[in-house]
């Protein structure tokens, strides 16, 4: 029994469900970008596991880069303040870029990232989000690829943390309220 399981109020998506949805998105990207070499920009830290699985589900050449941002710190709700902690290394000018993000809560981080990467003049800029929390949006935000729509619970696992822990769970779960309230 995984010790971290005791901190979950419920399992949200198991490994099988996640992997099968990630494979579907990978196949869609493979079809839509055939004849191209897109750059997948993973948003750290939360997006690392999704990106690792997604890129292995894509069967055309891709290039990988990472952008590290932080908006939450130790708080469980968004401060709306986005900081770039690690910039991209590749030149994305004139390239087809796909932002790979683990979760959209308020939408403020993704909006900031889109505006930031747009300044580098990519040929196209699309967004691929594993989890979308529509009830938490503070702005009008849309995506090109979405894994799952979820409710307003606090989710951990599969890259997502609370206080930097739980990222290594291979599935997604709802954290018990008493642990963060």
Residues binding ligand PRP (CB under 6 A): 43-46, 69-72, 78, 101-110, 161
Structure tokens given for 96: 């087809």
DSSP letters along 25-52, please?
Answer: HHHHHHHHTTT--PEEEEEETTTHHHHH
Looking at the Cβ atoms of 48 and 171, the one nearer to ligand PRP is 48
CA distance 129 to 14: 17
How many angstroms separate the Cα of 41 from the Cα of each of 101, 147, 176? 9, 17, 31
Q: Largest Cα–Cα distance in the chain?
A: 50
Q: How far is the CB of 164 from ligand PRP (least distance, A)?
A: 8
Q: How far is the CB of 36 from ligand PRP (least distance, A)?
A: 26
Looking at the Cβ atoms of 43 and 169, the one nearer to ligand PRP is 43
Catalytically active residues are 105
Q: How far is the CB of 96 from ligand PRP (least distance, A)?
A: 22
Looking at the Cβ atoms of 33 and 49, the one nearer to ligand PRP is 49
What size, in residues, is the chain?
A: 181
């Amino acid at each position: 029994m995984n010790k971290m399981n005791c901190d979950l109020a419920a399992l949200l998506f198991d490994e099988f469900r996640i992997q099968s949805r990630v494979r579907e998105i990978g196949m869609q990207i493979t079809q839509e970008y055939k004849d191209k070499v897109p750059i997948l920009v993973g948003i750290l830290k939360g997006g690392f596991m999704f990106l690792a699985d997604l890129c292995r589900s894509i069967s055309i050449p891709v290039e990988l880069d990472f952008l590290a941002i932080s908006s939450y710190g130790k708080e469980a709700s968004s401060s709306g303040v986005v900081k770039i902690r690690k910039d991209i290394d590749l030149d994305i000018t004139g390239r087809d870029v796909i932002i790979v993000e683990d979760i959209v809560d308020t939408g403020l981080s993704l909006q900031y990232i889109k505006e930031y990467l747009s300044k580098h003049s990519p040929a196209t800029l699309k967004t691929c989000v594993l989890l979308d929390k529509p009830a938490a949006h503070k702005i009008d935000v849309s995506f090109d690829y979405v894994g799952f729509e979820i409710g307003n619970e606090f989710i951990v696992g599969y890259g997502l943390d609370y206080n930097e822990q739980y990222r290594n769970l291979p599935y997604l779960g709802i954290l018990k309220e008493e642990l963060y309230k």
